[in-house]
Structure formats: structure tokens, C-alpha cells
Structure 1
Amino acid sequence: MLTIAGSDSGGGAGIQADLKTMLALGVHGMSVVTAVTAQNSLGVHGVWQLPADAVAAQFRAVVDDIGVDAVKVGMLGTAELVAEVARLLARLDPAVPVVVDPVSVSKHGDALLASDALGVLTTELLPRATIVTPNLDEARALTGITVTDVDAMRAAAAKLLASGPAWVLVKGGHLASEQSTDLLTNGPHEVTFSAQRRDNRHTHGTGCTLASAIASHLASGSPVPDAVRAAKLYVTNAIAGGFPLGSGIGPVDHGWNL
């Protein structure tokens, strides 16, 4: 499995979280680094984007020699990189599943996607996605819909589906409710996943981890609903095991099942 994402020097999110998740789920992980961040439990202190040709070279090195069974796309940062990754993914066999986590803001509120990249992401990258996994803030940025309940999640998902992905998973972790409910749909079919909220503030890397877990199960041949269900179980337990690290928000426990 290949992750295309940014590096988190604190080890809780991004490429580092993706590779830990793949290892925990029995998948060989490979990476294309799109950006280097100076990051810790308190926030993002610096971001350095890699040039598009460096991203393309990493992608070609992996795909041309080893091949891929699934791809997870995370932090891209700029409109140029979004367009470049969309072009690279177009070279893959259409049967290769692609999970797009439209990372735009960090856990601490730091912007990770340029405003002019949203349109490119919608028109060029989402049509290549097997599944896109926005949280509520990302859903609002991509659709203009403020999500406050399941009906609004359904409306945002429908608007995202019109951009071309096969499936949309709108994550409800930020809803004000006792349970965390996510909505998965491809239009004709809809599944909701609910889990009791865990009383644990150490949730850094949750979005990256979920997207990577979904892609790991897709790489192993699971259908999308089954992959999401299994990934949710993995992440729910990882959140339960989240631990303090540094002075701020600690990471989830990627190795809880090992």
C-alpha cells in the first residue's frame, strides 16, 4: 500500500501514522512524502512543501518497480501538488482503490491546504477517489454545507458524490452528541457507523489513521463497506488507547492490537 502525504515529526499523524497503521494491519507500507512539517503535541510550527518533480519521482520509483494494491492520499498542501497527484493517479489501473483524506486543517487548527487548492481537489482528485473521508470542517470547506446532524451529513455527501468519487464517508466525530456517527454512502446505498465516545483527549492522527486503515483493508481485497467497518473498529480501539505525549494532545495507539 502506498501513502501520499506529509511527514509529522511528532510521529502521531501523516506518513508516520499511515505506516504504523499498515504494519498493525499486516500490510507492507510505502510512501511518497509531499511535505515536511515541524510538528509536536502542541501544533504545527513549520511546513515545507516538496516540489512536484520530487513527489512524481517518489511515485514512479515505487509504482514502476513494486506496484501498489491501494493508495491513501493525505496532506497535499498546494494546488500544484493536488494537480500533480491527480495526474500520477491517472497512470494507475482504475481497479486500484484510492482513499482520499482531504486534509485541510490540523488537530490544532493549523491550515494545511491552500484555499486555491480546494477547487482543484474537487475537480481533479475526487473523480479518481474510491472513497473520500472528510471530517465536518473539511465537508464544509468542500461543499459549503455546515453539518450539524445526520441529515446535513447526507446532503454534504450527496454534493461530494457529484464530484465523482465512488463513495463518501462523512465523519461525525465533531458532532455534539454522546455517540460518534459516521455516514458512508455511494448514493443508492447508505450505512451509518456509531461508536460510544471515548473520554480521551489524546486523539492526534485519528483522520490519517482511519483513512490508512480503510486503504489497508481495501488492499487486502475487502469491499468498501467492510473495509470501513473494520477500519472503524481499529480506530475506535486506537482512540481508547490514546496516550499523553509531550505537553499537548497525544497520539492514538496505533499498535493496540499487536
Structure 2
Amino acid sequence: MAQKQIQALTIAGHDSDGSAGMPADLHTFYARGVYGMGLVTANVAGNSKGIFAQQLMPIDFIQKQFDVLNDDDYNIGASKTGMLANKEIIDVVAKNLKEYKMKNIVLDPVIITKHGATLLADDAYQAFLDELLPLATIITPNFYEAQKLTGLELKNEDEIKRGAQMLQNMGARNVLLKGHHDGTSTEVRDYLLLEDSSDEWLSKPYFKTDRVNGTGDTLSAVIAAELAKGTDLKQAVHIAKDFTYEALSHPIDIGSTYGPINHLAAQKIMTERNE
């Protein structure tokens, strides 16, 4: 008899170089021992030097992907979102997450890049706030996304805590605010606020590298994989933080500029450590 396998879904864009988006999510699911499915929202033509073109999927095709993955063929234990691009895509994704009662939703906003570039038009941003944010089991914005979502500068601990509370008030059950860092940083501190109002700071040494593509995708994908397994959310976040740090701090030579992080090293180290 075939072994039953835990399943997770990524709803995201496909980056052709394999470093970010859906490929990073699927690398992560595999590394965490979870069978990964991919519902593609866009195809992105990019390499380590940049993104050069993208092709958004037709709405009826996105809808059909939801239908065929929710026809009693599969048992999706968690879902995470990535690149959603515009209001129409956000609308269809939010509608289906609700209609199919999809559980353990990890919302990786993909609103602003780590370099501060805006990725969503104004109407899409408002749809994100109104339709997607209230569905989130946990939201995982980067520093710039958290600034945009809260309207705060997030320059000190009190502001960061207030920003996380604002996101809870906007509908997210749990919030992980990823910390700001630059070339002078010595550590990266993230702030976790849980729905029972407990909170904590998570810290790792800052590792300077240009092998950073897919960092945010990987962090949120680990959380989704662990939630699919039934891991407690707080522990899932700790595992995600550890896994992502190991993937960052063991760089691989792929790409000439901003390369991918190392999922294989993270998988091996976490297994040997027995977590």
C-alpha cells in the first residue's frame, strides 16, 4: 500500500532561474519532507542579474488550477501565497481560498522587494488588504512591506510591536515581522506576535552574501510545510528561521550576481542536527 504523504500548495509565480517564487517554495517543501503542489499565477523570465519579463496567467486558467486541485484528489494541509501581481489575480485567489475552505494559509505579501521596489498597483494593494489579509493564518512581511502595511517607520521595538498589533487588527491571526538589515548589521531580529497575544524576538547573526534570492519565499514555505505536518505555529516559525539561516550561510556558486540560497545544505544540516 502506498505511503500517505503530507501535502502543501504554493500559489505563486514561477521564476525561470529556479531561485525564487514557486521553485524556491517547492525546493523548500521537498527539503521539509512535504509533497509540494504549485498553482502558477505568472511566469517570470529572470536570472541572477534581474527580471526581464513576466507573463501573467489568465484568470480562467488560475481558476481551473484551483478546481482540479480541490476535486477530492488531494488533501492540502497548508497553502502559501507569493506573487499575485494584480487585483484580478488577488480576487480569484481570495475567492477560492474561502470557497474551498483552505487551511493554514501563510501570506507572503510580495508587495515590495527587499530593495524597496513596489510590486503591486494601488487597486491591487487595497484588494490585498480587504480580501487576503483577513484569511491569513500568519503574514510574513519584509521590513519595507511592513512599513507600507502599517504606515510606521518601524525604527524601534515599540513601533515594531505596534505594527504587528495593527496587522492583527486588520485580520491576520499571527504576524511575523522580518527585521531590517544592511551591510553594517551584525544580527537580524524578527518579531513574532501570536493570536493569543504572546510574542517573542527571534535573532540570528547577519551573514553577508549575495546568494539571497528566495530568502523570503523559503521562510514562509517552511512555515507552511510545518503547519501541514501539524507542527505548532510557534515551533514552525523557529524551524523556518533556523532553516533559512542555514540556507543563507552556506552559499552556493550559481549565478553571477544575486544567486539562490542553499536548500540542500539547510536540509542536510537540519537533519544531522535532528532539529
TM-score bracket for this pair, using the shorter chain length: over 0.9
Tell me the C-alpha RMSD between the 2 structures: 1.6
Out of 211, 214, 238, the residue aligned to residue 229 of structure 1 is 238
Distance 2:156 2:53 in 1: 34
Contact 1:42 1:108 in 2 (8 A): no
Contact 1:104 1:113 in 2 (8 A): yes
Matched, 1:246 2:255: yes
Distance 1:50 1:113 in 2: 16
One-letter code aligned to 2:145: E
Equivalent residue number for residue 217 of structure 1? 226
Distance 1:107 1:37 in 2: 18
Equivalent residue number for residue 5 of structure 2? none
Out of 129, 132, 152, the residue aligned to residue 159 of structure 2 is 152
Equivalent residue number for residue 188 of structure 2? 180
One-letter code aligned to 2:135: R
Equivalent residue number for residue 43 of structure 1? 50
% identical aligned pairs: 39
Q: Matched residue of 2:122: which SS? A: coil
Distance 1:42 1:107 in 2: 15
Equivalent residue number for residue 106 of structure 2? 99
Question: How big is the shift at 1:173?
Answer: 4.2
Matched, 1:29 2:36: yes
Distance 2:99 2:181 in 1: 36
What does the per-residue CA deviation read over 1:212-238, in whole Å, with 9 as the maximum and x for residues that have no partner? 000000000011111000111110100
Aligned pairs, number: 257
Distance 1:173 1:42 in 2: 23
Question: After superposition, where does 1:198-217 map in structure 2 within 5 Å?
Answer: 198-217=207-226
Question: How big is the shift at 1:186?
Answer: 2.7
One-letter code aligned to 1:97: N
Q: Matched residue of 1:29: which SS? A: strand
Gap change, CA 1:116 and 1:244, over 3 Å in 2: farther
Contact 1:205 1:251 in 2 (8 A): yes
Distance 1:158 1:110 in 2: 25
What does the per-residue CA deviation read over 1:68-126, in whole Å, with 9 as the maximum and x for residues that have no partner? 100011110001111111110002336x2000000023456554322321111111101
Q: Matched residue of 1:69: which SS? A: strand
Equivalent residue number for residue 74 of structure 1? 82
Q: Matched residue of 2:264: which SS? A: coil
Equivalent residue number for residue 27 of structure 2? 20
Q: Matched residue of 2:45: which SS? A: strand
One-letter code aligned to 1:149: N
What does the per-residue CA deviation read over 1:5-63, in whole Å, with 9 as the maximum and x for residues that have no partner? 00111111000000000000000000100011111111111121112211111111112
Contact 1:3 1:31 in 2 (8 A): yes
Contact 2:41 2:83 in 1 (8 A): yes
Out of 114, 127, 134, the residue aligned to residue 120 of structure 1 is 127
One-letter code aligned to 1:198: F
Question: After superposition, where does 1:56-75 map in structure 2 within 5 Å?
Answer: 56-64=63-71, 65-75=73-83
Question: How big is the shift at 1:140?
Answer: 1.5
Question: How big is the shift at 1:197?
Answer: 0.8
Gap change, CA 1:227 and 1:233, over 3 Å in 2: same
Distance 1:131 1:250 in 2: 27
Q: Matched residue of 1:222: which SS? A: coil
Equivalent residue number for residue 135 of structure 1? 142
Contact 2:114 2:142 in 1 (8 A): no
What does the per-residue CA deviation read over 1:126-172, in whole Å, with 9 as the maximum and x for residues that have no partner? 11110000001111122211222322221211111111111010000
Out of 166, 169, 174, the residue aligned to residue 173 of structure 2 is 166
Distance 1:103 1:40 in 2: 18
Contact 1:43 1:108 in 2 (8 A): no
